[in-house]
């Protein structure tokens, strides 16, 4: 169990740092592509730890933790430690980005969303993210993991390009790249929508 908690710490730290650095990319497309690429790579890695009885998608995304628990693919008792590990990793990644701020240069221009836009946009991403997590867990291509990342970059201001990964949004707030109130609303909306999305998928997709 301890080793499996180290993985979310590391993956959240790396994703947060990549997202913070990507916000200094030459253009928004490159920024979103970088974060989406890392999401796919981590999704592939998580699948190496999955078994028929226990899904490991939550190792790389706190929203995935709740999605998989909601459909019985991981115990609810493991959710809180996994979420805590993700947050610790993301904060560490945010602190690293904050320490490198003077070296990274200016961020791309983006506007701060209202709390309503952050909540609604994050909820949409969370719903789609639940579908993506369950699709990969069912044996689909890990490339599906890029969909929520690309969607987040498309429907929300660029500062929330990591909204599909709620802990990373907290990390970006730690780095001073996203307002704390926006980060908290977006993160909570993604997590809530990931649970709702899991139940919707279980209702809409016929059982084998």
pTM: 0.88
Instruction: Report whether 63 contacts 191 (CB < 8 A).
Output: yes
Instruction: Report whether 168 contacts 179 (CB < 8 A).
Output: no
Instruction: Report whether 164 contacts 63 (CB < 8 A).
Output: yes
Comparing 189 with 78, which gets the higher pLDDT? 189
Q: Which two tokens stand for residue 193?
A: 């929508």
> Could you tell me the residue range of the domain that residue 136 belongs to?
2-204
* Count of the separate structural domains present in the chain: 1
Banded pLDDT at 56 (limits 50, 70, 90): low
Residue 53: its pLDDT value, please? Answer: 63
CATH number, residue 10: 1.20.1080.10
Q: Which of 75-89, 136-150, 183-197 has the highest mean pLDDT?
A: 183-197
Q: Which two tokens stand for residue 10?
A: 């590391």
Is residue 116's pLDDT more than 80?
Answer: yes
Contacts of 43 (CB under 8 A, 6+ apart): 57, 60, 136, 142, 144, 145
Is residue 111's pLDDT more than 80?
Answer: no
pLDDT digits (tens, 9 = 90+) for 9-44: 999 999 999 999 998 888 888 999 999 999 999 888
Is residue 121's pLDDT more than 60?
Answer: yes
CA 103, 148, 167, 192 torsion-angle sign: positive
Banded pLDDT at 91 (limits 50, 70, 90): very high
pLDDT digits (tens, 9 = 90+) for 125-172: 999 999 998 888 887 888 898 999 999 988 888 889 899 999 999 999
Is residue 108's pLDDT more than 80?
Answer: no
The rounded distance, in Å, linking the Cα atoms of 208 and 201 is 13
Contacts of 126 (CB under 8 A, 6+ apart): 63, 164, 189, 190, 191, 192, 193, 194, 196, 197
Cα–Cα separations (whole angstroms), residue 66 to 25, 81, 97, 191: 32, 12, 27, 7
């Amino acid at each position: 169990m301890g080793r499996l908690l180290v993985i979310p710490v590391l993956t959240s730290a790396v994703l947060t740092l990549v997202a913070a650095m990507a916000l200094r990319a030459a253009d928004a497309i490159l920024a979103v592509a970088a974060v989406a690429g890392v999401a796919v790579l981590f999704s592939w890695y998580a699948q190496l730890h999955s078994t028929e009885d226990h899904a490991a998608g939550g190792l790389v995304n706190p929203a995935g933790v709740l999605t998989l628990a909601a459909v019985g693919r991981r115990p609810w008792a493991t959710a809180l430690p996994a979420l805590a590990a993700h947050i610790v990793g993301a904060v560490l990644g945010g602190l690293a980005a904050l320490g490198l701020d003077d070296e990274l240069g200016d961020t791309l221009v983006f506007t701060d969303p209202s709390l309503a836009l952050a909540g609604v946009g994050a909820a949409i991403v969370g719903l789609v993210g639940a579908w993506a997590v369950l699709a990969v867990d069912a044996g689909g291509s890990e490339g599906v993991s890029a969909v929520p990342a690309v969607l987040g970059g498309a429907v929300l201001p660029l500062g929330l390009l990591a909204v599909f990964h709620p802990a990373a949004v907290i990390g970006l707030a730690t780095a001073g790249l996203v307002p704390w109130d926006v980060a908290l609303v977006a993160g909570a909306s993604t997590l809530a929508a990931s649970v709702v999305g899991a139940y919707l998928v279980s209702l809409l997709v016929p059982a084998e």
